[in-house]
Structure 1
Amino acid sequence: MKELNLEKLKYPIGKFIAPENYSKEYLAEKIAAIESLPEKLANETIHLTDEQLDTPYRPDGWTVRQVIHHCAESHMHCYIRLKWTLTENNPVIKPYDEVLWSEINDNLTMPIQPTLDLLKGLHFRLGYIMRNLSESDLEKTFIHPADNSENKLKKIIGMYAWHGNHHLTHITTLKNYKDWK
């Protein structure tokens, strides 16, 4: 491979930075990004061969197939965390080991179409719920036990929009590097 900047390959759009102000425009833009991710992922990946899907996006990184399945798993956690936060007072969420999950057989070998279908419905639901959050809902929090951090719903809207674009860019960067059409 050409000269590689490993940090740039890991974080091609940079790390997530929470804004100081969560304006209506910011939230609407991030929700739109969440809603559009499934179509963008499908457009970039549905035509790829199994060999291409099984290509890591960086040295020691996940394959394109694993990235797609990871997006669904991570964003299902987002959905559950959102629902817990709307129905419980500052719940402690359950974390998961995304690396171990990525090594389970379904992430390594399963076709991507069922996951792309899942993402389409999941992101419709995420967008629907997020667009209908009240000002007080946006301030509701959950606790992540890894660092005991308190996370507001308005923050996770930005985080998951970033997360989807982060992984989409992993795929598009690899495709550009490999000159895949």
Structure 2
Amino acid sequence: MPDIFDQKQVDVWISEIETLPGQIKKAIENLTDDELDQTYRPEGWTLRQVVHHLPDSHINAYIRFKQAITEDIPTIRPYFEERWAETEEAKNGDIKLSIDLLAGLHQRWVAFLRTLKIEDYQRKYIHPAQNKELTLANMLGMYAWHGKHHLAHITNTITK
């Protein structure tokens, strides 16, 4: 993600985060359970696991953003996304629950992001697994990309 950014770029990233839940919902709305249970690549997650992963990941992002705004360079707590994806509800659960969670979460996250000033995006947190300080601008861009990345996993799999 670029170190140099402006309000226009931030607005683009926020818009991408805002529209992701609807795009995911549209991409999966007509899929059968068999289609949801296919992997997007050999040895990869199923589409169902990808859908459940998005709110898992983005709720952590939302909390990290809040911590970076309310604390002085906090060290965040990582989580084992691979293990989370292997839980029974992630492998077999109703995707509607995760779609609804993602939609509500993104509404709240976007509302929060739109209250921030451009200089707030220079605030940082420490990710211990990466052993470095990350700016909110970098992370906003990364999470906007993250959503599009997994949307592409879904759409590319269903068009094979």
| 1:171 corresponding residue in structure 2 | 154
**What do the CA deviations read for 1:69-93 (whole angstroms, capped 9, x no partner)?**
0011000000010111111110000
SS in 1 for 2:40: coil
> In the aligned structure 2, how far is the partner of 1:70 from the partner of 1:145?
21
- Residues 46 and 113 of structure 1 are in contact (CA less than 8 Å); yes or no, is this contact kept in structure 2? no
> In the aligned structure 2, how far is the partner of 1:69 from the partner of 1:41?
11
> In the aligned structure 2, how far is the partner of 1:54 from the partner of 1:172?
14
Residue 37 of structure 2 is aligned to residue 60 of structure 1: no
| Aligned residue among 130, 140, 144 for 1:161 | 144
SS in 1 for 2:72: coil
| Aligned residue among 136, 148, 158 for 2:119 | 136
> In the aligned structure 2, how far is the partner of 1:138 from the partner of 1:20?
11
The runs of at least 4 aligned residues of structure 1 exceeding 2 Å deviation read: none
**What do the CA deviations read for 1:96-129 (whole angstroms, capped 9, x no partner)?**
1111110000101101001100011100111111
SS in 1 for 2:94: coil
| 1:73 corresponding residue in structure 2 | 56
- Residues 40 and 153 of structure 2 are in contact (CA less than 8 Å); yes or no, is this contact kept in structure 1? yes
SS in 2 for 1:129: helix
Structure 2: 5+ residue stretches without partners: none
> In the aligned structure 1, how far is the partner of 2:88 from the partner of 2:95?
13
SS in 2 for 1:162: helix
> In the aligned structure 1, how far is the partner of 2:121 from the partner of 2:41?
36
| 2:19 corresponding residue in structure 1 | 36
**What do the CA deviations read for 1:54-81 (whole angstroms, capped 9, x no partner)?**
0000000000000000011000000010
> In the aligned structure 2, how far is the partner of 1:160 from the partner of 1:68?
15
Q: How many residues align?
A: 160
Q: What percent of counterpart residues are identical?
A: 43
Amino acid aligned to 1:167: H
SS in 2 for 1:33: helix
SS in 2 for 1:120: helix
> Could you state the TM-score of these two structures normalised by the residue count of structure 1?
0.86
